[in-house]
Amino acid sequence: MSSAKLNLLDFSQANIRLLHLTWFAFFLTFVVWFSHAPLRPLIMETFDMTMDQWKALLILNVALTIPARIAIGIAVDKFGPRIVYSTLLWVSGILCVAFASAQSFEQLAALRFAMGFVGAGFVIGIRMVGEWFPARQVGLAEGVYGGWGNFGSAAAAWTLPTVAAVIFGGDDGWRYAIGMTGVFAFVYGIIFYWRARNTPKGSTYFKPKKSGGLEVTNKRDFYFYLAMNIPMYIILGVLAWKLSPTGVGLLSATATNAMYLILVALCVFQFSQIYKVNKDMLKNGVPEHDKYKFKQVAVLDWAYFITFGSELAVVSMLPGFFLDTFEGLSLAHASMLGGAYALMNLVARPSGGFLSDKFGRRKSLSIFILGLSVGYFILSQISGAWPIALAVLAVMFCSFFVQAGEGAVFAIVPLVKRRMTGQIAGMAGAYGNVGAVTFLTIYSFVDASTFFLIIGGLALVIFGVVQFLDEPEGHMTEVLEDGTIQKIELT
């Protein structure tokens, strides 16, 4: 059965039902996660916020997702996606209602930081969908999961301003609109736990031999893995600096120094866990059949840095960009136009996965990253003199390549090492958030045109990195509890 014959409307198939159940869970996490972005003027007015404070809030929104995706990746490989996704939806709903009830900017900032945890939901579904679909279909299936789920940010942009103004109204309309999304997420967590299953009936759910970090298969990859963790701590350090008295002043000097020390301690702890997981390998090596190249993971990390990282940053600032660039737009209209970027998720990410399945993993990913570079260079030229329709078309052109690139990345993730798919997805996802914090930090210092130019230029660098990706072929192996070696086809 080819990927082209995957019938998304055939609800008689258990894997199709599971796919729809899972992408909608992801959809709700994105509605919750980005529920604040289209309501910027209302929230800023309520708390008398400056633009610097708002930009700090945007950075806080994606910061915790960096370590959260690593932690969630470990949890999903160990406990299974069903219980982990349900728990995340419950926690997300509670945090969202608390955010809607905040009474000060400090509370708002703390809760928005905590809600970065919501963004880790993506990782869970990658492992679940990977369990239910064969390699020849997994790209399209993961693309549907990611693309239709990511559409949640557009759904929030298109609906919440109207819900806040028309259905609820008043000064607190934005609170009720955001709180409502949290209630939906909590209820759906119950439904997901009731209906979802980790694997098809009769299939084995492979778990890592040890928890705490990725298992690598040679000494060079061990040190490579350690090095790849450092950028995540650097960008969190940049975030702490941004919130310090020399930045927006949200943290005191003492609190900032405490954050630096916590990050150093966390880094040391994580490195010790990675060593613990790989100690036997460093001494004794691993069997040939169990080897994989960590290079594959690293390339996917950087590819997701530029694709999803730029998407998160642009989704956060685009409604405000349209509001500031084109005179006379209402908040609802600007949010609708900004939502055009995320709208492309419905077709772009599944298309990226499908094309990756059909025409090759590295070739497809390379083309998409080149396309997104061109797209961001075009966006850098948008001004108030442009027809709005042309600006929207430029946004949709760019976003197609961005999101198709995301689909191509996660068409490969489940094909690296099955038992660690959650952790590999978690690390790639974390790098997406490293990109988001990086780009939002850059945005806090430059104008929108320069912001888009910088992303386009970095994309050309990542294009060179992608050329080191090896095309998955043949099969990977996993070991059953009785010692039997099971082969999993990659084609």
* Distance separating alpha carbons of residues 71 and 92, to the nearest angstrom: 16
What is the predicted pLDDT for the residue at 474?
61
Contact at 8 Å (CB) between 421 and 130?
yes
Say yes or no to pLDDT of 1 above 50.
Answer: no
Say yes or no to pLDDT of 151 above 60.
Answer: yes
Residue recorded with tokens 């960096």: 66
Residue recorded with tokens 């399209």: 140
- Strands 485-489 vs 475-479: parallel, antiparallel or unpaired: antiparallel
What is the predicted pLDDT for the residue at 90?
97
Say yes or no to pLDDT of 163 above 80.
Answer: yes
204 band by pLDDT with thresholds 50, 70 and 90: confident
Looking at the whole model, is its pTM more than 0.85? no
Q: Which residues contact 15 (CB under 8 A, 6 or more apart)?
A: 132, 133, 141, 200
Mean pLDDT for the stretch of residues 301-327: 89
Q: Which residues contact 389 (CB under 8 A, 6 or more apart)?
A: none
Cite the DSSP H helix spans in 196-252. Answer: 219-242
Q: Where are the beta strands (DSSP E) in 104-218?
A: none
Helix (H) or strand (E) holding 489: strand 485-489
How many helices, marked H, and strands, marked E, lie in the chain? 19, 2
When the pLDDT of each residue in the chain is averaged and rounded to a whole number, the result is: 88
List, as one string, the DSSP characters of 28-94: HHHHHHTSSGGGHHHHHHHHT--HHHHHHHHHHHHHTHHHHHHHHHHHHHHH-HHHHHHHHHHHHHH
Contact at 8 Å (CB) between 158 and 336?
yes
Contact at 8 Å (CB) between 215 and 424?
no
Say yes or no to pLDDT of 183 above 70.
Answer: yes
What is the predicted pLDDT for the residue at 397?
94
* Distance separating alpha carbons of residues 464 and 279, to the nearest angstrom: 33
Say yes or no to pLDDT of 143 above 70.
Answer: yes
What is the predicted pLDDT for the residue at 450?
95
Say yes or no to pLDDT of 89 above 70.
Answer: yes
Residue recorded with tokens 């760019």: 398
Q: Where are the beta strands (DSSP E) in 144-216?
A: none
* Distance separating alpha carbons of residues 435 and 302, to the nearest angstrom: 9
Mean pLDDT for the stretch of residues 155-173: 83
481 band by pLDDT with thresholds 50, 70 and 90: low
Residue recorded with tokens 């990282």: 309
- CA distances from residue 320 to 125, 296, 313, 331, 372 in whole angstroms, order as listed: 31, 37, 12, 9, 21
What is the predicted pLDDT for the residue at 3?
42
CA dihedral 352, 353, 354, 360 (to 10 degrees): 90
What is the predicted pLDDT for the residue at 165?
82
* Superfamily name with CATH number, domain 10-489: MFS general substrate transporter like domains (1.20.1250.20)
Q: How many residues does the chain have?
A: 491
Indicate the residue type of 332. A
What is the predicted pLDDT for the residue at 462?
97
**CA 120 to chain CA centroid, nearest Å:** 7
What is the predicted pLDDT for the residue at 488?
63
When comparing pLDDT for 158 and 197, which is higher? 197
